[in-house]
């Protein structure tokens, strides 16, 4: 299965955000990961739909948008109109998560469900068939550069089994502490999409292709 690399612009240089998006696009990224934080659901604030809209013309790659906000439904349409291709939401701030996933699809976008390290996996059971992507957080969301939580591996394995048992084509993505050491473990557990922030952007402009290629090579090891 092809490994998808989705660099997270959370780790990029925000003073030249447009150039950073173009650079990772040209460096071979499969998707561009956009972390949307509101200072309520997670203890950080990043960008909103207007920034996503401004970045959209700079890349034709999939905009993989991860909403860490409360509430979800109020902003789904805005991010869809801004150019997001995949919109992932968390179940915790949304008592009607089933409806929200439906609404994302009704807007012509792919629906994602994001699972925190402490989110019970039972939450996903009635939702698998509404998910085009399941995002397993291998750190507690809110900040980049955190250490990978190894207890995420059996969670990834469980979700992989359920996706396969149901005969679905759901993308299984992992975000948090992804680097050349953790990527092979995550892929072996059953994921095939990797969100990488620090592992890509710390290499500096001009080295992004090498960083992305290193992740691909390590993941296939």
pLDDT of residue 202: 87
3-state secondary structure of 4: strand
Residues flagged as binding site for a divalent metal cation: 33, 35, 66, 175
Q: What is the pLDDT of residues 86-127, one digit of tens each?
A: 999 999 999 999 999 999 999 999 999 999 999 999 999 999
Residues flagged as binding site: 8, 33, 35, 66, 142-145, 175-177
pLDDT in tens, the chain (221 residues): 689 999 999 999 999 999 999 999 999 999 999 999 999 999 899 999 999 999 999 999 999 999 999 988 999 999 999 999 999 999 999 999 999 999 999 999 999 999 999 999 999 999 999 999 999 999 998 777 679 999 999 999 999 999 999 999 999 999 999 999 999 999 999 999 999 999 999 877 678 999 999 998 887 76
Cα separation, 169 vs 131, in Å, equals 9
Beta bridge partners of 36: 67
Catalytic residue among 25, 64, 132, 175: 175
Q: Which domains are delineated in the chain?
A: 4-219 (3.20.20.70)
Residue 64: active-site member:
no
Residues flagged as binding site for substrate: 8, 66, 142-145, 175-177
Rg of the chain over all Cα atoms, to the nearest angstrom:
16
Q: Tell me the backbone φ, ψ of residue 84, rounded to 5 degrees.
A: -65, 140
Residues 6+ apart with CB under 8 A from 194: 3, 4, 5, 6, 173, 174, 178, 183, 186, 187, 215, 219
Contact 64, 86 (CB under 8 A): yes
Whole-structure pTM value? 0.95
Catalytic residue among 25, 30, 35, 132: 35
**H runs (alpha helix) in the chain:** 17-26, 49-55, 73-82, 97-106, 152-165, 183-189, 198-201, 208-219
**Which residue bears the tokens 């975000």?**
175
Residue 19: active-site member:
no
Cα separation, 131 vs 150, in Å, equals 24
Max CA pair span of the chain = 45
């Amino acid at each position: 299965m092809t490994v998808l690399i989705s660099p997270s612009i959370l780790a990029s240089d925000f003073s030249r955000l447009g150039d950073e998006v173009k650079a990772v696009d040209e460096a071979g990224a499969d998707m561009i990961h956009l972390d949307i934080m509101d200072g309520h659901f997670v203890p950080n604030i990043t960008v909103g739909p207007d920034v996503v809209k401004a970045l959209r013309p700079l890349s034709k790659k999939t905009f993989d948008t991860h909403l860490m906000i409360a509430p979800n439904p109020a902003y789904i349409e805005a991010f869809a109109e801004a150019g997001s291709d995949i919109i992932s939401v968390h179940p915790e701030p949304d008592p009607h998560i089933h409806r929200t996933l439906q609404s994302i699809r009704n807007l012509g976008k792919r629906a994602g469900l994001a699972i925190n390290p402490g989110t019970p996996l039972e939450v996903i059971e009635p939702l698998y068939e509404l998910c085009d992507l399941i995002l397993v957080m291998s750190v507690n969301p809110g900040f980049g550069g955190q250490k990978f939580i190894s207890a995420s591996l059996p969670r990834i394995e469980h979700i992989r089994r359920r996706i396969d048992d149901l005969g679905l084509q759901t993308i299984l993505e992992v975000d948090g502490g992804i680097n050349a050491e953790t990527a092979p473990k995550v892929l072996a557990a059953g994921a095939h999409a990797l969100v990488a922030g620090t592992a890509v952007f710390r290499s500096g402009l001009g080295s992004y292709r090498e960083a992305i290629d290193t992740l691909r090579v390590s993941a296939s090891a």
